Structure 1
Amino acid sequence: MTGWTLNEKNLVATAAAAAPSVHNTQPWVLEFHEDHEVRLYERLDRPLPHHDPLGRDRLISCGAALEHVRLAMRILGWLPQIALRHDGARVTTTGRAEPSTVDRRRHGAIVARHSHRRPFAARPVAAALRAELLTAHHTDGVGVRRLYDDETPALARLLHHAALALRADDAYQRELAAWTAPVRDPLPGAGVSSAIRRTSTLPWGGLVRRTTMVPDVPTLTGRLRGELILLLETPDDGPFDHVRAGTAAEQIWLAAVDTGLAGALSTQPFQLHEVRAGLVEALSLSGFPQLMLRFGHQV
């Protein structure tokens, strides 16, 4: 039986804490066990009943944290193996190996990753980068669907509807306010920054507040056409699918950061049944859409 050193625990815990989570609630807890095993459990004491009534975003967040744990263990020279269980996720080791160059670069991208809440530069993502991101994840059971220019009007209509619905939802707005911290950089688990209120957020890339300006559908369509937009879908819509979607999304996002792109993950619109159903119909999806990733170059 071999244990963890304090430095090893700190490396893994710090990586997990840097994972994106819904409203920055950090809805997970880590346990360190013998033989370099890590267990990640979903925290049920940080519910968001109006934003995330089914807990889907909470599990997507846990999936992103799992990817950070995996990368940290690779940096420590372990070969991690993830098993999803009904009582949480178990990360065990199958041996030792030096981390690859990709492992090191993706782990390094963790500290550089942040949500880009402004328009991207008017420079399209190169075809080679688009192709790289479409194959950047290695999570079974998750499909990646790129949106093309002729599909953006349908997406714009659905996102426009979602933004108006969330902006007018009193319960949603009270819940968001409760998870808003009066600092620019809240600690992990302390909510989102109140500074976001004072920026010109975009309703498909940032949090929808009372003051969020929602562009009309033609304007929104034009803006979407300047971005690389990826939809992640799963064959089913159970808890394991949600965790896997979060893991795959974070793998893609870190790969994008490593190439110099800015990005953001959006799940808010997917909480509305009519938006998810509309995406399936408009895009002829074969699975369940779980989230949207946006990428581009910073201004």
Structure 2
Amino acid sequence: MTLSRRKTLALIGGGAVLAATAAAGYDVTRLPRDAMRPWDLAGQYADPRMRALSWAILAPNPHNLQPWKVDVSVPDEVTLYVDTDRLLPETDPFSRQIVIGLGCFLEVLRMAALADGLEVTFDLFPDGSDPLRVDARPVAVCRFAPTGAAPDPLFAFVPRRRSLKEPYDTSRPVPADVLDRMAAATRHFGMGRTTDPARVQGMRDLSTEAIRIEFATERTLRESVELFRIGHREVNANPDGLEFTGPMFETLRLTGLFTREASMNPDGFVAASADAAFVETMQTAMGHIWQVTPGNTRLEQLRTGMDWVRINLAATEVGLGMQPLSQALQEYPEMSGLYDEIHRRLAPGGGTVQMWARVGYGPDVMATPRWPLEAKIVGGTG
């Protein structure tokens, strides 16, 4: 997660930043290199299943919880489970977004294996599933076998894929054919899209209102704040959640201006900074994309994720930034009005809006931290 550096500086003034930087320059300039190592290790394993898994753990997922764990004890198989200790009970009470993240994982696994000359077939929810909660039953049994099929060209963009949460360039429109290419990458449910200025502005405003509701609701805000990783030391120790790194955030940590406790104060500096930053980012959307499924089954959620990561990779291929807008799709009482409204706008004929994102052109950003693959293996050694 990032706040606009320009907005933050305007709010706190340069003096505190300069003083802290001079006092602790080394600490301020450190990056969480340990937490980034899985990006360098992807593909560097002898076992082809481990190679594929080392790419799969780089898949997008809600709040960067990385809610997957795998068993590799059976030869030529990987069994995927949801890590039930890594859920979002306040903002994602039915774990719909968690399951979508697992679908992203499976699709990257499939593409990585295919690049290695292996086909992966999935037995999805072999022991069934619960529509209201996730549990200890397997999400997928993944079986690997040789194949002569060609690699998926989107796989080449896995190392460069990002969620771009910075403001976008409002002077640069998104061409319709770029969004068409992204839509063509889907395999299950397709992709809605718009760059119509009036419709985009309406969605800018709705996404801004939704994030303000989440931040104004104490329990949903706390759920995110408890996942804050502030500074390189916290990120290296826990390479998940919402990371805040780089000179600006290291400085705010050192000055005591940015802490988890301070983040819960609705009248404090962090709240004001966050609001300014989110208004800036939401209001620079140059287009919106979305996915709608006929129903809302676990299989549909999983396949949504498979398509979602493909859309993200296709965006990477054409140099377009995208940021998921999950807030209005969350199923808790305070969000119900906007949940109904986004469905009225994006699924007027019925169905479930599973994903929604803003798109545009923006700066290059760092990859998000990851736990090492070995931390995700619960059976077998690979």
State TM-score, norm by structure 2. Answer: 0.65
| Residue number in structure 1 paired with 2:357 | 293
| Residue number in structure 1 paired with 2:65 | 25
2:177 maps to 1:128: yes
Partners of 2:336 and 2:59 lie apart in 1 by: 26
| Residue number in structure 1 paired with 2:208 | 160
Partners of 1:228 and 1:137 lie apart in 2 by: 18
Name the SS of the counterpart of 1:233 in structure 2.
strand
- Following superposition, the deviation at residue 95 of structure 1 comes to 4.3
Name the SS of the counterpart of 1:236 in structure 2.
coil
- What is the letter of the counterpart of residue 291 of structure 1? M
Name the SS of the counterpart of 1:71 in structure 2.
helix
Name the SS of the counterpart of 1:125 in structure 2.
coil
Match of 2:293 among 234, 237, 240: 234
Give the structure, 1 or 2, with the largest relative contact order (CA under 8 Å, sep 6 or more): 2
Partners of 2:340 and 2:122 lie apart in 1 by: 31
Per-residue deviation, residues 6-42 of structure 1 (Å, max 9, x unmatched): 4423312211211111111111112225462222111
Compared CA separation, residues 43 and 248, structure 1 to 2 (3 A): same
Compared CA separation, residues 215 and 237, structure 1 to 2 (3 A): same
**Residue 328 of structure 2 contacts residue 342 of structure 2 at CA under 8 Å; is this kept in 1?**
no
Partners of 2:107 and 2:239 lie apart in 1 by: 18
- Following superposition, the deviation at residue 43 of structure 1 comes to 1.5
Name the SS of the counterpart of 1:80 in structure 2.
strand
Per-residue deviation, residues 252-286 of structure 1 (Å, max 9, x unmatched): 10111122222222222210332231122234243
| Residue number in structure 1 paired with 2:143 | 92
1:131-210 matches, cutoff 5 A: 131-138=180-187, 140=188, 142-147=189-194, 148-183=196-231, 186=235, 190-195=240-245, 210=271
Partners of 1:220 and 1:278 lie apart in 2 by: 21
Name the SS of the counterpart of 1:276 in structure 2.
helix
Match of 1:280 among 318, 343, 355: 343
- What is the letter of the counterpart of residue 234 of structure 1? T
- Following superposition, the deviation at residue 58 of structure 1 comes to 0.8
The structure that is strand-richer by fraction is: 1
**Unmatched segments (≥5 aa) in structure 1:** 199-208
Name the SS of the counterpart of 2:274 in structure 1.
coil
Name the SS of the counterpart of 1:118 in structure 2.
coil
Name the SS of the counterpart of 1:213 in structure 2.
helix
- Following superposition, the deviation at residue 248 of structure 1 comes to 0.8
**Residue 164 of structure 1 contacts residue 214 of structure 1 at CA under 8 Å; is this kept in 2?**
no
Per-residue deviation, residues 122-146 of structure 1 (Å, max 9, x unmatched): 21222322211121111x2x23211
| Residue number in structure 2 paired with 1:206 | none
Partners of 2:244 and 2:178 lie apart in 1 by: 33
Name the SS of the counterpart of 1:260 in structure 2.
coil
Compared CA separation, residues 29 and 221, structure 1 to 2 (3 A): closer
Compared CA separation, residues 155 and 215, structure 1 to 2 (3 A): farther
Partners of 2:358 and 2:278 lie apart in 1 by: 19
State TM-score, norm by structure 1. Answer: 0.82
**Residue 249 of structure 1 contacts residue 293 of structure 1 at CA under 8 Å; is this kept in 2?**
no
**Residue 63 of structure 1 contacts residue 242 of structure 1 at CA under 8 Å; is this kept in 2?**
yes
Partners of 1:221 and 1:169 lie apart in 2 by: 19
- What is the letter of the counterpart of residue 361 of structure 2? H
| Residue number in structure 1 paired with 2:262 | none
Name the SS of the counterpart of 2:163 in structure 1.
coil
CA RMSD of aligned residues (A): 2.9
**Unmatched segments (≥5 aa) in structure 2:** 1-44, 129-137, 250-269, 364-382
